Amino acid sequence: MLDNLPRGTICIEDIEMGMTRHLRKQITDRDIELFAEVSTDRNPVHLDDDYAQDTIFAGRIAHGMLTAGLISAVIGEQLPGHGTVYMGQTLKFLAPVRPGDMVLAQVEVTGIDHAKRRVTLACHCAVDGKKVLVGEACVLAPSRKFD
């Protein structure tokens, strides 16, 4: 038995179909600047107001992967939580996220393979009730038992 699992971690033995978790985060200019720094993606559509005004977005937008990172936060911190290992993720970007937007990131359990400790999660991010990102994640969930 693993007695050192962090509080809030949901082990494969306790995961159920339909379980959901979410977080809300307002995307700030600082978030975008920090993401550009760490990712080295300095596309001016994210950083330069004048440049971004002349794009199809008519203004600056957050990096798509910054938004997707919120899904990772829900998975890594809440469902299943600490000790989870990402195995795969699909993403479809539906609309831009702008500085100042409040993003709701949510995951829902849609599949469980107890024998392999794999969990499939439907993922989405929304701004003002409109989905801006959808996808599916496959993760290896922590277990109370040793393999």
Q: Is the torsion defined by CA of 70, 76, 79, 84 positive or negative?
A: positive
The radius of gyration of the chain's CA atoms, rounded to the nearest angstrom, is 17
Predicted confidence at residue 144, as pLDDT, reads 87
Beta strands in the chain (DSSP E): 20-26, 85-93, 102-113, 118-127, 130-140
Residue 119 forms part of a structural domain: yes
CB atoms under 10 Å from CB of 76, counted, come to 17
- The tens digit of pLDDT for each residue in 26-74 reads 999 999 999 999 999 999 999 999 999 999 999 999 999 999 999 999 9
For residue 130, name the pLDDT band (cuts at 50, 70, 90): very high
Residue 59 forms part of a structural domain: yes
Whether the pLDDT of residue 147 is over 80: the answer is: no
- The tens digit of pLDDT for each residue in 72-95 reads 999 999 999 999 999 999 999 999
Overall average pLDDT of the 105-117 stretch: 97
Residue 5 forms part of a structural domain: no
Rounded to the nearest integer, the mean pLDDT of the chain is 95
What's the CATH number where 22 sits? 3.10.129.10
SS3 assignment, position 115: coil
> Do you find a cis peptide bond into 80, omega within 30 degrees of 0?
yes
Residue 3 forms part of a structural domain: no
Structure tokens at 97: 């996220």
Distance CA 35, CA 67 (A): 10
C-alpha of 7 from chain center: 20
Number of domains in the chain: 1
Structure tokens at 56: 């199809």
Predicted confidence at residue 5, as pLDDT, reads 58
Residue 26 forms part of a structural domain: yes
